[in-house]
Amino acid sequence: MTASLVISAPASGVGKTTLTLALARAYRDRGLKVQCFKSGPDYIDTAFHAAAAGRTSVNIDSWAMHREAIEALASRGANADLVLAEGSMGLFDGVATRGLSGTGATSDIAEMMGWPVLLVIDPSGQAQTAAAVAAGLRDFRAGVRLAGVVLNRVASTRHEDLVRRAMAGAGIAVFGALPRHAAISLPKRHLGLVQAEEQGEVDGLIAEAARFIAEHVDLDAVLQSAACASTAPCAAHGPSVKPPGQRIALARDGAFSFVYPHMLEAWRAAGAEIATFSPLADEGPDDSADVCWMPGGYPELHAGQLAANRQFRRALKSFAETRPVHGECGGYMVLGTALTEGGGTRHEMTGLLGLETSFAQRRMHLGYRLAELALPMPGYQARALLRGHEFHYSTIVSQPDTPLAIVRDATGAVVAETGSRRGYATGTFFHLIAEDR
């Protein structure tokens, strides 16, 4: 039996990630084994979780995963003392149409797993109304249980007292109140937080956040509020994910790092080997591999360097003459003919596909995707149904190749980003989460 909490909030940007990281490190410093999860399709937060807790964090997603798969992933908390599952957006925010086991809302996971919710409330510009917000969240869905709240960005002692009194009147426990403290802010980028592996100071930031939280939050009370949930080892399998080959050459560096941890684990569990290479270091895929996988990331920040790395481009083109190469989002863009960065400079990419993209006029593409393959891609045959998630700010300048799939959003509406195929090269704008079966 493992103490478990879901860290959520009324909205994005309130402080869920910072609190999750701080609590994970603070309890780890006390000698507890902490297992983190991320509700939803975020591939950045899990890397921060791993840095804070010292254990791999994985995504659990009610839209893209069956309940059995979520329970199988959650069972990795069986040998932990505390599970901390960070939510996404607001507690009840999800898509309009239900997926495999829910709408993708954090509340789905909280109810499904029986994990109580620790709310982060930012009472800026409010006082007693903050208690009304917390009470509304507590009472909105019967199967979701509120453990209590932590107040973030409290303006003064008087402000804190007003909010605490109102929370007490509503029967809501306040475990702590955090004054504004810029030193524990984590850098942001257009897709969210800057990646953990990019920040040399990330461990120091997390340590400072843990120290700060320990001063202002009753860690004993938070731990006592965590339900003892059954997270025993599970015989069920995780999400249905097939390895794209037996030996996989995986691009992995500052430009290509958006790959879900459960994907890599599933590949290895199926007996596949993974050999990483760095396009930024002008490396090509391992020639002994039978498939190359180019994940997403931030290639637009490194477009000039990637264009100049001739050895990488030659090696990738040579590989693609006889073996499959697949790109997701940023990796897909690099497989294309050209990428125009935000300032308007156009850079030649590898040319394995005809896709040309541009960040000169930013347009957000965000949401779950259900794709029916029209053509095969590594690991999957035509007509396979795949669930994934798309998030980028690029626009398509041209895409002359054969569409790879019919792609729909969570409501069933067809989207224009079909992915494409040319020869052995394939690509999609969505990041694969699991097969729909």
Catalytic residue set: 329
Q: Is residue 331 within 8 Å of 299, Cβ to Cβ?
A: yes
CA pair distance 160, 151, nearest whole angstrom? 8
- Determine the 3-state secondary structure of 293 from DSSP: strand
**Do 393 and 363 contact (CB within 8 A), yes or no?**
yes
Q: State how far the Cα of 293 lies from the Cα of 334, in Å rounded to an integer.
A: 12
Tell me which DSSP letter residue 353 carries.
S
Three-state secondary-structure class, residue 217: strand
Yes or no: say if 4 and 113 are a contact pair by the CB < 8 Å rule: yes
380: phi then psi, degrees, rounded to nearest 5: -140, 145
Q: What residues have CB less than 8 Å from 4, skipping those under 6 apart?
A: 77, 82, 83, 84, 85, 113, 114, 115, 116, 226, 227, 228, 229, 231
Here the tokens at position 167 are 């929370």
Angle between helix axes 16-29 and 45-53 (nearest 10 degrees) is 20
How far apart are the C-alpha atoms of 197 and 50, rounded to whole Å? 11
